[in-house]
Amino acid sequence: MTMLLNDPREQAGSSAFIGPSPRTVSGAAEPVQDRTGRRCEELSGAMSPGLKKFLIFGVVALVLFLLISKPTESAEAVQTALSWLGDGAQALVTFVERLFS
């Protein structure tokens, strides 16, 4: 994906728009132009499919490695995480009970 950014060095002394590209009213992924008429691509924050697959593969490989190489420590980590989630849920229940009592 090629992104065109407004480079201040390129526009030195120009009154061109420098900043984020204006969005369209519909929010559709239409080509956007800055005030000089040049086409810019919006920064959508989306991750490329190749990078996403790579990261998912890496996380799964790391989890499997830890489960196989250190099963006791992995079980303790899962128990700790579940304990934190349980404590958080109990705190929310207590908050709602006291809110309506």
* 27-38 confidence digits (pLDDT tens): 555 566 666 766
Contact 28, 42 (CB under 8 A): no
Spell 39-62 as b/e; 16+ CB within 10 A means b: ebeeeeeeeeeeeeeeeeeeeeee
User: Which amino acid, one-letter code, is at 77?
Assistant: A
pTM value?
Answer: 0.44
Boundary residue ending a domain (25, 46, 67) = 46
Residues 30 and 63 in one domain: no
Residues 29 and 9 in one domain: yes
Q: What is the percent of the chain with per-residue pLDDT over 90, rounded to a whole number? A: 50
Indicate the number of domains in the chain: 2
Token pair recorded at residue 58? 């890496």
Instruction: Show the domain range for 26.
Output: 1-46
